[in-house]
Structure 1
Amino acid sequence: MLIREVSIRGTGYGISMAMAVMYFITILLIIGILIKIASRWVFYQE
């Protein structure tokens, strides 16, 4: 994984931490979008 390679090469943990945070935020956004889309598919009959 690119994050691990950057941290092992010694270029700094700051860059690898920034990459990890951006990856985490991207995954959260994708999950949020999927939840919004999936909630439109569900129909509750009254």
Structure 2
Amino acid sequence: MSITGVKNEMIMTIMNDDDQILNIKKGLILIEQYLWWVPFVQ
């Protein structure tokens, strides 16, 4: 998945989830995955 795709998925996950706590956890997981891939992409 591209960096843009990850960002878009993170935004959609945050916007679509009614449960704020679950929402934050999902966002953090996606950010961790995104940051983990950055060194490989650059």
Scaled by the length of structure 2, the TM-score of the pair is: 0.59
Q: CA RMSD in A?
A: 1.8
Please state if 1:21 is matched with 2:28.
yes
Runs of 4+ in structure 1 displaced over 4 angstroms?
A: none
Tell me the distance in 2 between the aligned counterparts of 1:5 and 1:16: 9
Correspondence for 1:41: none
- Any stretches of 5+ residues in structure 1 without a counterpart? 39-46
Could you say which structure has the higher helix fraction? 2
Scaled by the length of structure 1, the TM-score of the pair is: 0.55
Report the identity percentage. 10
Could you say which structure has the greater relative contact order, defined with CA pairs below 8 angstroms and 6 or more residues apart?
A: 2
- Any stretches of 5+ residues in structure 2 without a counterpart? 1-11
Larger gyration radius, structure 1 or structure 2: 1
